[in-house]
Amino acid sequence: MFHYILSVGKDKTFVCKIRIFVALKQLFMNKESLYNELAGFLATCFPFKVQKISLNAGFTCPNRDGTVGYGGCTYCNNQTFNPAYCRTEKSITEQLEEGKRFFARKYPDMKYLAYFQAYTNTYAELEDLKKKYEEALNVPDVVGLVIGTRPDCMPDTLLDYLEGLNKRTFLIVEYGVESTDNAILKRINRGHTFEVAKAAIEKTSARGIRVGAHVILGLPSETREGLIKQAGVLSALPLTTLKLHQLQLIKGTRMAAEYQEVPEEFHLYSADEYIDLVIDYVEHLRPDIVLERFVSQSPKELLIAPDWGLKNHEFTDKVKKRMRERNAWQGKKYN
């Protein structure tokens, strides 16, 4: 409820204070709630368990085809996060049904969010986009959409459609922000500035749509102090969700080649270092932002470094343990 009020309410400052108060109250009432977890957030939206199913809908990227640039972001290899069933030769329906069969083995009553993940999922003609989104929503047990995209690929005509879609189904638009430092964005060949990301997030939220962001911690030349400052910058935006990922060097990327040439410009965190960085970051975040994840887990055959040998849930357990040891919680140092 509070996410919508923030977007359309007359007194946004007052409503933002209400949201923060509610989030802090929830954290203090439940000592296990060291941060605002995705599962808890989804439980407030649905009366049943939901799971995201990743999709590859056959989109490309304006940073690859020459519209914005060529070669893509220097760290990018989409094979690192596409499950085996995500293949463009399969329809949206086929991918979703295959994903459902995988998850239904453990949770037969599960419902699903169709996650348009690979590449830029708003980069096509409006009618083509609508056709793919509606196909996903027509699959049984799919109860909403998560659309991953770039902040420079959200035209007003698409926002008009998404505003209406948001009134009849669950929707999150997730923007790849990656960094709030324009020099770093230029270095990784992102193809847009932070100001573009900020404007897209604000514009989308103003339509009443939940907005997510994705950032990478540990990009070349990025400092710990700069990252802590980043948490405050992002907290000033009307974000519903946030994903944190550690920098990973992936085979076949330009960043991997750059690391071979100038390794001194990279700091690859150990698992313990990164855990403490994440906690420092989370302490400076607005307490009502939903934290989806802290790490990414790339296939071993593609990963160069760092290889911590930890699954996502194992890393999360370590973060929670360290937070208790440090008496830390989300928003503790938020100003």
Instruction: State the residue range of the domain holding 235.
Output: 2-326
pLDDT of residue 86: 52
Does the residue 136 lie in any domain? Answer: yes
pLDDT of residue 89: 75
Q: Reduced to 3 states, what is the DSSP secondary structure of residue 172?
A: strand
- Tell me the pLDDT tens digit for each residue of 102-115: 998 888 889 999 99
pLDDT of residue 7: 41
CATH at residue 137? 3.80.30.30
Q: What is the pLDDT along the chain (335 residues), one digit of tens a residue?
A: 334 334 444 454 544 555 555 555 454 434 468 999 999 999 999 999 999 999 999 998 887 877 887 778 888 886 555 555 556 679 999 999 999 999 988 888 899 999 999 899 999 999 999 999 999 999 999 999 999 999 999 999 999 999 999 999 999 999 999 999 999 999 998 989 999 999 999 999 999 999 999 999 999 999 999 999 999 999 999 999 999 999 999 998 999 999 999 999 899 999 999 999 999 999 999 999 999 999 998 888 999 999 999 999 999 999 999 999 999 999 999 98
Relative orientation angle of helices 271-283 and 224-235, to the nearest 10 degrees: 40
Distances (CA, A) of 39 to 11, 96, 266, 323: 29, 21, 34, 19
- Tell me the pLDDT tens digit for each residue of 74-111: 888 865 555 555 566 799 999 999 999 999 888 888 99
Does the residue 243 lie in any domain? Answer: yes
Does the residue 63 lie in any domain? Answer: yes
DSSP 194-217: HHHHHHHHHHHHTTT-EEEEEEEE
Does the residue 333 lie in any domain? Answer: no
Q: Reduced to 3 states, what is the DSSP secondary structure of residue 55?
A: strand
- Of 67, 69, 116, 66, nearest to 88 by C-alpha is 116
In angstroms, rounded to a whole number, what is the distance separating the alpha carbons of residues 218 and 227? Answer: 8
For the chain, the domain total comes to 1
Does the residue 27 lie in any domain? Answer: yes
Residues 6+ apart with CB under 8 A from 233: 180, 194
Task: Give me the residue label for tokens 């100003």.
Answer: 335
Q: Is the peptide bond before 306 cis (omega within 30 degrees of 0)?
A: yes
pLDDT of residue 68: 81
pLDDT of residue 182: 96
Does the residue 331 lie in any domain? Answer: no
Exposure string over 202-212, b if 16+ CB within 10 A, otherwise e: eebbebbbbbb
pLDDT of residue 189: 87
Does the residue 102 lie in any domain? Answer: yes
The DSSP element (H or E) to which 170 belongs, if any, is strand 170-178
Does the residue 82 lie in any domain? Answer: yes
In angstroms, rounded to a whole number, what is the distance separating the alpha carbons of residues 17 and 33? Answer: 20
